[in-house]
Copies of this chain bind each other. A is one copy, B any other.
Amino acid sequence: MSQYDREAVRRVLDRAAAEGRDSLTAPEGRLVVEAYGIATPGEGLAGSADEAVALAATIGLPVVLKIVSPDILHKTEAGGVLVGLGSAEEIAAGYDTIIANAEAYDAGATIVGVQVQQQLTTGHEVIVGTVTDPTFGKIVAFGLGGVLVEVLKDVTFRLAPADTGTALSMIDGIASAEILRGVRGAEPANREILADLIVRLSDLVTDFPELAEVDLNPVLATAAGATAVDVRILVDPKAAARPEQFTDEEILASMNRIMRPASIAVIGASAETGKIGNSVMRNLVNGGYQGEIYPINPKATEILDRKAYPSIADVPGPVDVAIFAIPARFVPAALEEVGAKGAAGAIMIPSGFGEIGNHELQAEVLGIARRHGVRILGPNIYGYYYTPASMSATFCTPYDVKGGVALSSQSGGIGMAILGFSRSARMGVSAIVGVGNKADIDEDDLLTFFESDPDTQLIAMHLEDLKDGRSFARAAKRVSATKPVLVLKAGRTDQGARAASSHTGALAGNDKVYDDILRQSGVIRAPGLNDLLEYARGIPLLPTPKGENVVIITGAGGSGVLLSDACVDNRLTLMEIPDDLDEAFRRFIPPFGAAGNPIDITGGEPPSTYRNTIALGLSDPRIHALILGYWHTIVTPPMVFAELVADVVEEFRAKGVDKPVVASLAGDVEVEEASEHLYRHGIVAYPYTTEKPVAVLGAKYRWARSAGLLGGQPDGR
């Protein structure tokens, strides 16, 4: 990679800033990208028709003429572009036409001149661009150019800076990637050169964050090179701003005290049933929290057998966490006292802040917290649970099924759905956290804590937005290498309101940005609430597979077909069974059964056929995961199947062979109990669906791949 000429860029930007401009001219844009080693066509600026003709003679024919005006961004619409001019006469006439069109389009526009540009006649048209995303900051976009990208929105996004591997994953990641590889004898684009261009552009905007948007559209990509034919750059000093950030050490110092407090004060504790301050007290006590609990209430002496204090200042010992159960208007004064007491966290249950438009009060409260070094959870939340400390700091109901799943939700309603689902499924949970308005603590704080938390094995988050998507992506990338991070991103519809001042900007106005960057960060995105919950429940039960070879063993051919469909939908690889293994399976199944994959043991088989084939699937090291399709028969009733599967899986686990096994049970209502039995024994099993068990296995695989545990491309699809 050549050296970057930062000075040249600085000079252009300083001049634009001095002139108060928010865009660069085409020649300036060209200078800026060339300074970072991005090729542009031969060209020059003409101030007259004669100059245009002379320039064309040096550049070579044909040429393109383009209006140069800081006031005209959409040149084509202004009639400011003429292509394919192949003679001096055409060029001279073209110059005059363009000037006339520009004047007609915007009489007041400052016209710098006409750009005379070499017309490249071969290559794939692609678009490479960057924008400053309100959530993620600098992001880089890549897609096919022309009408395609506009109509089909076949474009992909990554955080800038992007390294070469990331840039290559973009080129390979668009739906029409095959076109760039050369279809029907067309010359392929050079992937490495194109990736290098993406890297250079992403470095450029990283070094100069005031480059708010850069469009290279089109870039012509051939086997030998990649040339940015048109460069459009918007500048904005505000685009360089970054949100405030804590270090990981600071985050952990606070979060450890907040999640595992030695003492909790309840501001607004109450003895009166129905009050939030009473529910919180009761849940703390009944939930089994073993630390100190200090009810704070000036009118009470004792609440739930605990001595009450008029103010947190009166509490004798230190306080780690203060739970607020008072109306919003009383919060600032109480928070001053909480801060003075040295609490690490303020759990802000009250509503009445940003969510009803009261942003001033929320800002005031955050200011107080910052002054005292207190972190705020909320406001506008149901509270939080941390089961390793038996802490149910919430006005809902206690939860006590301990396990490795940490969940968070931005919405109280979704939090209640999490609670109900968990209780109904007896899902082992380490934490359930409401983040509400996220005035302060947000998902990346939680990720950083859960990463370090030995009691958490998986993190599942419902979110509607990210305060700082870049910090989240950084944390998720790191955490997801060891613990799966699941996200349900609500609000997936187009953000229609975004002003589209560039092609890339217009393309970035949709959910695809979240989708691509969450994937780049190793996050497993759940398509819906129920999927989030089922993934969270099932993934920790399944061991991490050691490879991509999935085998379906089914008693019902019909289930086998549907399970195969589900494998395709979930990007699972049905193993091609080698001959010796095929023969080994055939020894256990009837002659009219089908080996291959799915392995159809047929419907009327006794338990031993299920047992033998499953044992073979577990024992052969070439097989990495099993999907079972059960068909209810008199010969092998549901509970017999469930017990034998649990037995054989446990038998192999005892021998150190642990593979993910999921099951779909087709049968009469007894399959419900059988599915529960299997689930209790670490086999992800469901009745009446072929989709769910495979979806959970697919999510596990997506995580394993993205964490690099299967040896594939971590960033790939």
Of residues A409, A562, A632, A667, which shows the largest number of chain B Cβ atoms within 10 Å of its Cβ?
A: A562
Asked whether B558 lies within 8 Å of A413 as measured between CB atoms, the reply is yes
CB distance from A328 to the nearest CB of B (A): 11
CB distance from A473 to the nearest CB of B (A): 21
Asked whether B148 lies within 8 Å of A668 as measured between CB atoms, the reply is no
Interface residues of A in 604-633 (CB under 8 A from B): 629, 631-632
Asked whether B592 lies within 8 Å of A357 as measured between CB atoms, the reply is yes
Interface segment among A16-24, A29-37, A253-261, A490-498: the answer is A490-498
Asked whether A689 lies within 8 Å of B178 as measured between CB atoms, the reply is no
Asked whether A629 lies within 8 Å of B568 as measured between CB atoms, the reply is no
Asked whether A176 lies within 8 Å of B150 as measured between CB atoms, the reply is no
A592-B356, A667-B420, A668-B396 as given contacts; A561 in contact with B629, CB under 8 Å:
no
**Does chain B have a CB within 8 A of A236?**
no
Asked whether A413 lies within 8 Å of B631 as measured between CB atoms, the reply is yes
**Does chain B have a CB within 8 A of A691?**
yes
A419-B668, A464-B561, A491-B561 as given contacts; A413 in contact with B629, CB under 8 Å:
yes
**Does chain B have a CB within 8 A of A239?**
no
**Does chain B have a CB within 8 A of A274?**
yes
- Return chain B residues, CB-CB under 8 Å to A94: none
Asked whether B412 lies within 8 Å of A184 as measured between CB atoms, the reply is no
Which among B419, B634, B669 is the interface contact of A424 at CB below 8 angstroms? B669
- Return chain B residues, CB-CB under 8 Å to A557: 355, 411, 413
- Return chain B residues, CB-CB under 8 Å to A668: 396-397, 416, 419-420, 423
**Does chain B have a CB within 8 A of A376?**
no
Asked whether A558 lies within 8 Å of B414 as measured between CB atoms, the reply is yes
The CA-CA distance from A538 to B238 in the complex, in Å, is 52
Asked whether B690 lies within 8 Å of A529 as measured between CB atoms, the reply is yes
**Does chain B have a CB within 8 A of A152?**
yes
The CA-CA distance from A561 to B465 in the complex, in Å, is 11
**Does chain B have a CB within 8 A of A417?**
yes
A530-B692, A533-B688, A689-B530 as given contacts; A413 in contact with B671, CB under 8 Å:
no
**Does chain B have a CB within 8 A of A564?**
yes
The CA-CA distance from A488 to B561 in the complex, in Å, is 12
**Does chain B have a CB within 8 A of A565?**
yes
C-beta contact mask, A390-403 vs B, less than 8 Å → 1, else 0?
00000011000000
A424-B672, A592-B357, A632-B420 as given contacts; A412 in contact with B529, CB under 8 Å:
no
Interface residues of A in 549-604 (CB under 8 A from B): 554-559, 561-562, 564-566, 568, 592, 603
- Return chain B residues, CB-CB under 8 Å to A477: none
**Does chain B have a CB within 8 A of A410?**
yes
**Does chain B have a CB within 8 A of A151?**
yes
- Return chain B residues, CB-CB under 8 Å to A150: 183-184
Which among B556, B672, B691 is the interface contact of A414 at CB below 8 angstroms? B556
The CA-CA distance from A568 to B410 in the complex, in Å, is 21
The CA-CA distance from A151 to B184 in the complex, in Å, is 11
Asked whether B603 lies within 8 Å of A412 as measured between CB atoms, the reply is yes
The CA-CA distance from A311 to B488 in the complex, in Å, is 64
Residue of B nearest to A631 (CB): B413
Residue of B nearest to A395 (CB): B634
Of residues A183, A412, A533, A631, which shows the largest number of chain B Cβ atoms within 10 Å of its Cβ?
A: A412
The CA-CA distance from A351 to B535 in the complex, in Å, is 38
C-beta contact mask, A422-453 vs B, less than 8 Å → 1, else 0?
01100000000000000000000000000000
- Return chain B residues, CB-CB under 8 Å to A692: 530
**Does chain B have a CB within 8 A of A186?**
yes
Asked whether A666 lies within 8 Å of B528 as measured between CB atoms, the reply is no
**Does chain B have a CB within 8 A of A147?**
yes
Residue of B nearest to A413 (CB): B556
Residue of B nearest to A630 (CB): B413
Asked whether A413 lies within 8 Å of B183 as measured between CB atoms, the reply is no
**Does chain B have a CB within 8 A of A313?**
no
Of residues A178, A464, A557, A672, which shows the largest number of chain B Cβ atoms within 10 Å of its Cβ?
A: A557
**Does chain B have a CB within 8 A of A519?**
no
Asked whether B562 lies within 8 Å of A414 as measured between CB atoms, the reply is yes
The CA-CA distance from A419 to B666 in the complex, in Å, is 9
The CA-CA distance from A568 to B691 in the complex, in Å, is 22
C-beta contact mask, A174-198 vs B, less than 8 Å → 1, else 0?
0110110001111000000000000
CB distance from A94 to the nearest CB of B (A): 18
**Does chain B have a CB within 8 A of A705?**
no
Which among B179, B356, B666 is the interface contact of A147 at CB below 8 angstroms? B179
The CA-CA distance from A151 to B185 in the complex, in Å, is 14
CB distance from A157 to the nearest CB of B (A): 20
Which among B488, B493, B666 is the interface contact of A413 at CB below 8 angstroms? B666
The CA-CA distance from A151 to B179 in the complex, in Å, is 7
- Return chain B residues, CB-CB under 8 Å to A355: 557, 592
Residue of B nearest to A564 (CB): B493
CB distance from A704 to the nearest CB of B (A): 23
Asked whether B413 lies within 8 Å of A688 as measured between CB atoms, the reply is no
A175-B152, A528-B562 as given contacts; A414 in contact with B666, CB under 8 Å:
yes
CB distance from A233 to the nearest CB of B (A): 21
Which among B274, B566, B632 is the interface contact of A416 at CB below 8 angstroms? B632
Residue of B nearest to A592 (CB): B356
Asked whether B666 lies within 8 Å of A416 as measured between CB atoms, the reply is yes
**Does chain B have a CB within 8 A of A76?**
yes
CB distance from A583 to the nearest CB of B (A): 19
The CA-CA distance from A564 to B355 in the complex, in Å, is 19
- Return chain B residues, CB-CB under 8 Å to A529: 562, 688-691
C-beta contact mask, A660-698 vs B, less than 8 Å → 1, else 0?
000000111111100000000000000111111000000
- Return chain B residues, CB-CB under 8 Å to A691: 527-531
**Does chain B have a CB within 8 A of A462?**
yes
A-B contacts, 6 of them at CB < 8 A, read A150-B184, A417-B667, A421-B687, A421-B688, A464-B558, A533-B688
A413-B555, A462-B558 given; name 5 further pairs at CB < 8 Å: A150-B184, A151-B175, A417-B687, A464-B561, A491-B565
Residues of A near any B CB (own CB < 8 A): 76, 147-148, 150-152, 154, 175-176, 178-179, 183-186, 274, 352, 355-357, 396-397, 409-414, 416-417, 419-421, 423-424, 462, 464, 488, 490-493, 527-531, 533, 554-559, 561-562, 564-566, 568, 592, 603, 629, 631-632, 634, 666-672, 687-692
Which 7 pairs of residues, A with B, have the shortest CB-CB distance? A411-B558, A413-B556, A356-B592, A417-B666, A528-B691, A530-B689, A413-B631
